[in-house]
Structure 1
Amino acid sequence: MTVHHLCIWHQSELVATLTHDTMENSWGLVYAPTWKIRPKAFGFSPALSLDAEKHDSQSIRRFIENLLPEGRALDIAASANGVGRSNIYGLIHELGAETTGAFRFLPEHVDGRLEPAHAERRQVSIQELDARIRDRDKEEFVVWDGKVRLSVAGYQDKLLVYVDGRIEDGGAMYLPDYPLASTHILKPQPVDSRFPHMVVNEHFCMSLAKAMGMPVADVFLLRTPRPVLAVTRFDRTPIKTPAGVPSVARRHVIDLCQAADVPVSYKYERNIGGSGVAAQYRDGTSFPTLFNQLKHINNKASDKLLMMRWALFQLLIGNCDAHGKNYSFFMDNQGLKSAPWYDLVSVVQYPAISHELAMAYGDVFNIEEVKGFALADFAVRCNIDRKLMQREAKKMASSARKHAQGLAQTGPYLEEESDFAAQLASYVLLQADRLEQYAGEAVHIKSARL
């Protein structure tokens, strides 16, 4: 029997030991006694709590799997590190020093107490970044200096960087080799021609959410001169050590799949597929799954309002792909708390891909068919007061009308980008009218019909 071990660290403190039995494909997790007695200690997720005598092997595996990249990025990471894409342990062994959240997964021989002063700072210039984006057909963007530089979930090309200072002011960028941690995620324009102006799309939608007063990650449109979306990580805070060395404090965050203890394949409500018999199966994450996490939250009223606003905002911008890995929570000893929003994109702008909703409003998976009855059904299933939903929809619609066109006109966009942003703004204005109308209709639908 071969059992492998990884030590899990928070900053410079040992938190737990992760074990994997390769023959049995079983997982174990044991929290360190010194961590458990800390006054504000917390577990990885609701399913992996501190007080459990033993943790379910599959729950551990699901939590780890949800930390890893997806799709082609996962294939690249697996190939570059010489492991199979299904080898979850092998992947977290190679990528675990810089995952989402507070914890680092390090081999036993690696000292988790190392200070950032010991890190080699490998700078990335704007010129080098531009060249790497340009040459993505020759060399995979996530591989730098022969090493995979992506360890966060998602499909898009991304690069994790540490920025010394403000990226808006031209702060120097570095690759975050251990023990240095990243502060930003860089997302260049996709190579796929089916997604024109994706960077502008996400920048506009994120900026709109911020202008409307929603909690959202900070974004900046960086130009190399190619457009790159720079996203400030909300699970990272730049700090100075007592010796004055730049460092990064890590805050624990988990996504909805991890909070609900489901595999990454369940990020869509129709977890098997959207056509034929497969469409009948709806075991994946859904809006009711999201609102069910309120049982782990202290300030339920505040978070419930945020969840509802998030659901309604997806309708405003036409984001059909708002799935279980696009909503996250901070986790500490008090439980869960909604994290800022991210990955806000108007998917309906791209006719070449499916517009089926990742999560249904009631029983409706077509965004054009989300009307009064679907919103009423959504509210009932999620235990939302429909009059409250109507008031919030009206406020959000009014705010969207106030900001959408101005953002399109004044945003940092070039000619064709400005035209695309104007197209986005026009769609938002149309959806604002629809949202206000249908939320009003939802109030008057009798519960007996639902």
Structure 2
Amino acid sequence: MELDVLMNGELAGTLGYTAATHRYVFRYSPVWLSRKERYALGPTLPLETGADTTEEQHSAAVRQFFENLLPEGQALDDAASTHKLSKGNLMGLLAALGGETAGALQLRLPGTVATPVPEARRPLSHAELSERIRARPFHPFSVWDGRVRLSIAGYQDKIAVFEEADGQWALVEGGHLASTHILKPEPVAAQLAGLTGNEFFCMRLAHRAKLPVAEVALVRVPEPVLAVKRFDRELSGGRVVRRHIIDGCQALGLSSALKYERPYGDTRDVRDLREGASLPMLFALLEHCPRPAAERLALLRWTLFQVLIGNTDAHAKNLSFYAGREGLTLAPAYDLVCGFAFDGVQLLDTTYAMAIGDAFHAQELSPFEWASFAHACGLPLRQVSIELARMAKRVAESLPGTLEDAREAGVAPALVELLHAIVVTECERQARMAPEIAKVDPALL
């Protein structure tokens, strides 16, 4: 079984699978390798495979990279069921869903590029979207017109759409069209009620705090839907240009099952097995960047913001990089959510997706843990101390404008007040802690 792998419409290579040996292989095309602007799809898929890389190692790296293009959870179940495939059939799923993945990659059966699909726009009205949102308990949200319209990683319900010049949405395919926005309705689960408003608040707070972040809008159809503008798409002259991105798991060469630092859970017997993605691993990646110092600062600020908003789901697949000829560059932030808001009265009794030092809980976070984080990530203690104080101040000063944004968007007043209280508490606590970080004796780390 083989699939052509296209980069923004140009053949970059071929993905192959041999069932008898259960091995995968990826080879760059001669045309791609001859390009002056050629570059690797990611750090784990170099343009030239090292002589010391075994077939098993190469196969594992290829599988891990491409499986991260698939959705997770119920969306993956629905895709497999719709196409009558096993969830473990990576090649079959990529063949079915590979036309609209994250970034610039497209996967197609060989020969289909020579017969391009005609351009098609299928309008999506608010009324139809509302009906489908309400029908989710009976009808998979990712399946439209008998086709899976989603190949974006993550568990949350979402659909990728094209936004017309007049603001109307459409399902598109073929030609130079591709989705430009991702629509995320409220989850079906009652315990996650308010997630769209929560994410809108946190994303707008990041924007006001001057962090690079995806643009969002809260639209009512009348159910609340968060519309996220894709930062891996650029609309130019009626044509959608795709931009190559990879998430943290792809960059690290990890499967999606290892997106959390504690991939086996937080129970007593397994909580010390920290074999998943971690902040030190992500900071080490930045040696692949054209400007390592600038990217380290950007990743540090991303990390600080997660702590200040109480985001307990800031895992490696909720972080992405632009990948190009010069290396990796941190992409805008996305999927910013205050996890503390879903923990009832015990707001701070929650677990971070990736530890700060050895602190997985907010109540464990201390100047020493911040210093331990800095040491493990190769950051000066003084830099972490200064940046934490600055970020806490900036976020606190950005709250009034964010409150106004949320109220104008129709976020429930009780949720707005809860989020405000959580962020104020965290900003004040971290601001008190910040000066003490630089005082930690390096000999203790």
Q: TM-score, normalised by structure 2?
A: 0.94
1:278 partner SS: coil
CA contact (8 A) 2:5 2:11 kept: yes
Task: Tell me the equivalent position of 2:156.
Answer: 156
CA contact (8 A) 1:221 1:412 kept: no
Matched, 1:269 2:266: no
Q: 1:234 aligns with which of 214, 231, 234?
A: 231
Task: Tell me the equivalent position of 1:327.
Answer: 319
2:44 partner SS: helix
Where in structure 2 are the equivalents of 1:411-430 lying within 5 Å? 411-413=406-408, 417-430=412-425
Q: 1:9 aligns with which of 3, 6, 9?
A: 6
CA contact (8 A) 2:68 2:249 kept: yes
The alpha carbon displacement at 1:234 in A equals 0.5
- Structure 1 residues 119 and 432: CA distance shift in structure 2, 3 A: same
CA contact (8 A) 1:13 1:112 kept: no
CA contact (8 A) 1:222 1:228 kept: yes
- Structure 1 residues 143 and 213: CA distance shift in structure 2, 3 A: same
1:269 alignment partner AA: E
Matched, 1:175 2:177: no
- Structure 1 residues 414 and 215: CA distance shift in structure 2, 3 A: closer
Q: 2:208 aligns with which of 208, 211, 222?
A: 211
Task: Tell me the equivalent position of 1:122.
Answer: 122
CA contact (8 A) 1:9 1:103 kept: yes
Task: Tell me the equivalent position of 2:76.
Answer: 74
The alpha carbon displacement at 1:439 in A equals 1.9
Where in structure 2 are the equivalents of 1:10-25 lying within 5 Å? 10-25=7-22
CA contact (8 A) 1:296 1:336 kept: yes
Task: Tell me the equivalent position of 1:63.
Answer: 65
Write the distance in 1 (CA, Å) between the matches of 2:340 and 2:20.
Answer: 46
Write the distance in 2 (CA, Å) between the matches of 1:89 and 1:12.
Answer: 19
- Structure 1 residues 17 and 279: CA distance shift in structure 2, 3 A: same
Task: Tell me the equivalent position of 1:101.
Answer: 103
Deviation digits for residues 89-123 of structure 1 (CA, Å, limit 9, x no counterpart) = 111111001111111101113126848xx212111
CA contact (8 A) 2:184 2:227 kept: yes
CA contact (8 A) 2:204 2:405 kept: no
The alpha carbon displacement at 1:176 in A equals 2.7
Task: Tell me the equivalent position of 1:286.
Answer: 278
Where in structure 2 are the equivalents of 1:340-351 lying within 5 Å? 340-351=332-343
The alpha carbon displacement at 1:431 in A equals 0.7
CA contact (8 A) 1:121 1:174 kept: yes
Q: 1:86 aligns with which of 88, 91, 99?
A: 88
1:280 partner SS: coil
1:336 alignment partner AA: L
Write the distance in 1 (CA, Å) between the matches of 2:110 and 2:415.
Answer: 51
The alpha carbon displacement at 1:356 in A equals 1.4
1:346 alignment partner AA: C
Write the distance in 1 (CA, Å) between the matches of 2:288 and 2:260.
Answer: 22
Aligned CA-pair RMSD: 1.7
Write the distance in 2 (CA, Å) between the matches of 1:348 and 1:235.
Answer: 29
- Structure 1 residues 32 and 438: CA distance shift in structure 2, 3 A: same
Where in structure 2 are the equivalents of 1:238-387 lying within 5 Å? 238-240=235-237, 246-351=238-343, 355-387=350-382
CA contact (8 A) 1:393 1:439 kept: yes
Write the distance in 2 (CA, Å) between the matches of 1:112 and 1:252.
Answer: 23
Q: Which moved more, 1:376-385 or 1:151-160?
A: 376-385
2:400 partner SS: helix
Q: Which moved more, 1:176-185 or 1:309-318?
A: 176-185
Write the distance in 2 (CA, Å) between the matches of 1:182 and 1:129.
Answer: 16
Write the distance in 2 (CA, Å) between the matches of 1:355 and 1:66.
Answer: 26
Q: 2:35 aligns with which of 30, 35, 38?
A: 38
The alpha carbon displacement at 1:376 in A equals 1.1
1:176 partner SS: strand
Task: Tell me the equivalent position of 1:139.
Answer: 139
Write the distance in 1 (CA, Å) between the matches of 2:389 and 2:268.
Answer: 37
Q: Which moved more, 1:66-75 or 1:150-159?
A: 66-75
Deviation digits for residues 324-377 of structure 1 (CA, Å, limit 9, x no counterpart) = 101110000101011000000001111279821110111111122212111111
1:319 partner SS: coil
Write the distance in 1 (CA, Å) between the matches of 2:181 and 2:37.
Answer: 27
CA contact (8 A) 1:97 1:178 kept: no
CA contact (8 A) 1:121 1:177 kept: yes
2:269 partner SS: helix
1:111 partner SS: helix
Unaligned runs of 5+ in 2: none
2:302 partner SS: helix
Q: 1:403 aligns with which of 398, 402, 405?
A: 398
Write the distance in 2 (CA, Å) between the matches of 1:201 and 1:363.
Answer: 27
Write the distance in 2 (CA, Å) between the matches of 1:349 and 1:261.
Answer: 32
Task: Tell me the equivalent position of 1:51.
Answer: 48
Task: Tell me the equivalent position of 1:243.
Answer: none
Write the distance in 1 (CA, Å) between the matches of 2:68 and 2:11.
Answer: 22
- Structure 1 residues 449 and 88: CA distance shift in structure 2, 3 A: same
Write the distance in 2 (CA, Å) between the matches of 1:261 and 1:328.
Answer: 13
1:266 alignment partner AA: L
Write the distance in 1 (CA, Å) between the matches of 2:9 and 2:65.
Answer: 22
Write the distance in 2 (CA, Å) between the matches of 1:28 and 1:280.
Answer: 34
CA contact (8 A) 1:208 1:400 kept: yes
CA contact (8 A) 2:311 2:337 kept: yes
Unaligned runs of 5+ in 1: 241-245
The alpha carbon displacement at 1:297 in A equals 0.8
The alpha carbon displacement at 1:405 in A equals 3.1
The alpha carbon displacement at 1:236 in A equals 0.5
CA contact (8 A) 2:120 2:173 kept: yes
2:369 partner SS: helix
Q: Which moved more, 1:398-407 or 1:34-43?
A: 398-407
